[in-house]
Homo-oligomer: A and B are copies of this chain.
Amino acid sequence: MDLTSFVTSLGTYFGIFMGLMIVYAFLSWRAGNNVVYYPNKILKGLEPLEGKNKSCNPFIWMKVALLPSGVDTAVYFVFLNTVLSILVLSAVILLPVLLPVAVTDERVVKESLTSHYNQTVVDELQKLTMGNITEKSNRLWAFFVCCYWFSLVALGLLWKACKHVSCLRAQALMDPNNVKPEQFAVVVRDIPAVPLGETTTEEYVHSYFKAIYPDTYYKCMIVTDNRKVDSIEYYNDRINETVTKLEAEQKITQSKKQQNAALVFFTSRVVAASAAQSLHAQMVDTWSVSPAAEPRQLIWHNLTIKYFERELRKYLVHAIVALTIVFYMVPISFISAFTTLQNLVELAPFIEPVVRIKALRTVLEAYLPQLALIIFFYLLPKLLLYLSKLEGIPTQSQAVRAASGKYFYFPVVNVFLGVTLGGTLYRTFKLIEDNPKSLLSWLVMSLPDNATFFLTYLSLKFFVGYGLELSRLVPLILYHFKRKYICKTEAECKEAWAPGDLGYETRVSEDMLIVIIVFCYSVIAPLIIPFGVLYFGLGWLILRNQALNVYVPTFESNGRMWPHIHNRILASLILYQVTMLVYFGLQKFYYASLLIPLPILSFIYGFVCAKKFYPAFERPILEVAAYSMREAPDMELIFRSFIPPSLNSEKIDDENFEDSISKF
């Protein structure tokens, strides 16, 4: 890609961004769109334009968008912040040092003169990269030192972030004004079959825990197998059958429905925290106890899956995902090949008039093959979340983390490896034919070329991506469409504008792809750093606004996402260090091996972090749980908060549920 086309696309993207900003300013100003642009505030009962100046300045959100809501959101901003700081702090050295050093050398010019292809085009952008440095040149020392600088800055700031997040989590869990009900409960799974002498699972659980915790045991709540019933159907049934008969029947089934899982409540946070991480039974696959999560994020039907079945499901799902990562292009290509315009017209003759329009036909023919890929990437997060829940994961937040971990590989394989390998292979196809051994060499030497592609990719991401994010055009259209044609009741209307949460499962993974790209090219093509700064800076501002005005967290895991994020940043750093090691080696720099301490240092850093910080994200900490509360907890309120909505609903009277609540 030469300079002109690069500048052209940059300009185009910027134009789109400005357009979207104007659209946002215009639309968000209209009160009818408030439910799309300020759903968070509306749900909190705040005035949508509160905090906005009466001056109708649409960019006023930049000022107010500075307060995080919840630790999970805060952790996401710590992530953005940390990457941003790493890039800014390294740019201070890298840009003024490396760009002049690179541009004053002349390898690219020389090579384009001697090369037997492309003799006329000199890529101006490539002159600003490490690819322009002559082999074995002493100028490589500048890049070498910058390699160390970047790594040390990254490790230092990551360490600071780890401490900060660790502190945030502890503070949130200790907050005397916001005592969380889940801190008083533990989840008990794999309850053995009720022995002779006890009548119900409930009594069994009660006597078991009462014996171990005579002073602090409060109550237990057995998981029951409640069918989801449509209320209208339910009431019809109720009317049709004799009411009394039904109720008697229900009472019997209710106690039969008691499953092998329970929530156990304690009157002390320390005891609950300690119980959640202790082995209770000599046979470890029975009475397995784990920390409880917020009531809203418990996946009830997963609680009853047995120990070894969970293990089996986990391995099966991992195998399926691994196969999908490796082979996902196969079925997509297959489907693409079949979804030609010709076949579509045969299947659905009513689209024929559309196809007759020539301009449209050209566009469709061009984009149809990619349609399968687009649909695949749209459905993928949903599929992965579904698969993660199939594993038997007990909480929503953990399922989201698991899905995010799985999703991570797809953009990386698709974009990073796809472009780097694909682009390189294409360009060096002829050379490889002559000399197949130089594959690796050419692969790395053409990294600076790929950098230009990624500059464009990044600007697309932050101009068009964030523009769409802020202007919320798709949700806006969907909302107005639904309101006009679908919604009948008020509840359905509310559903139509429900904003959802930040969507960590895809967002973090996509940001992480940018982290990998920017880290890997930071020293090779330092020009990518300002683009990275723009991506994370703009992202920070726009997502602050969205977090405040739009998205509503569906759960709060108090920052348990952090080890997941931190590990992946560290992996990107190590990938960068190894890339640099290979790249310096291929530049025939004699001292390349002096870079070996860097990945070793990163591994040691990762090991220390994993030992020092991570366990506090996995398990409840006693010194935190022992922190004094403002007042004694209302145990009945805490217990009630865990009653599932389907049983707690005012539509159905409570008596059905009585049986599944401990009477003790």
Instruction: State the A residues within 8 Å of B (CB).
Output: 166-167, 169-170, 208, 211-213, 215, 270, 273-275, 277-285, 287, 307-308, 311, 607-608, 611-616, 619-624, 626
Contacts and interface: CB of A to CB of B under 8 A. Distances in A.
Given A274-B275, A277-B277, A282 B166 contact: yes
23 contacts: A167-B282, A211-B623, A212-B626, A274-B274, A274-B278, A275-B622, A277-B279, A278-B278, A278-B619, A279-B615, A279-B620, A281-B621, A281-B623, A282-B616, A282-B621, A282-B623, A282-B624, A283-B613, A284-B611, A284-B612, A285-B611, A287-B623, A307-B611
Number of copies of this protein chain within its complex: 2
A208 B270 CA distance: 13
Contacts of A283: 166, 612-613, 616
Given A212-B623, A287-B623, 7 more contacts: A166-B282, A169-B282, A215-B215, A277-B277, A279-B616, A279-B620, A281-B623
Where chain A touches its partner, the secondary structure class is: helix
A150 to B, nearest CB: 26
Contacts of A282: 166-167, 169-170, 616, 621, 623-624
Contacts of A280: 621-623
B277 A278 contact: yes
The 4 lowest CB-CB distance pairs between A and B, nearest first, are A212-B626, A274-B274, A284-B615, A274-B278
Contacts of A215: 215
A175 to B, nearest CB: 14
Contact of A608 (B273, B308, B622): B308
A211 B628 CA distance: 9
A627 B128 CA distance: 74
A619 B279 contact: yes
A310 to B, nearest CB: 11
A584 to B, nearest CB: 28
A612 B285 CA distance: 5
B273 A278 contact: yes
Nearest to A284: B615
A279 B621 contact: yes
A165 to B, nearest CB: 11
Contacts of A279: 277, 615-616, 619-622
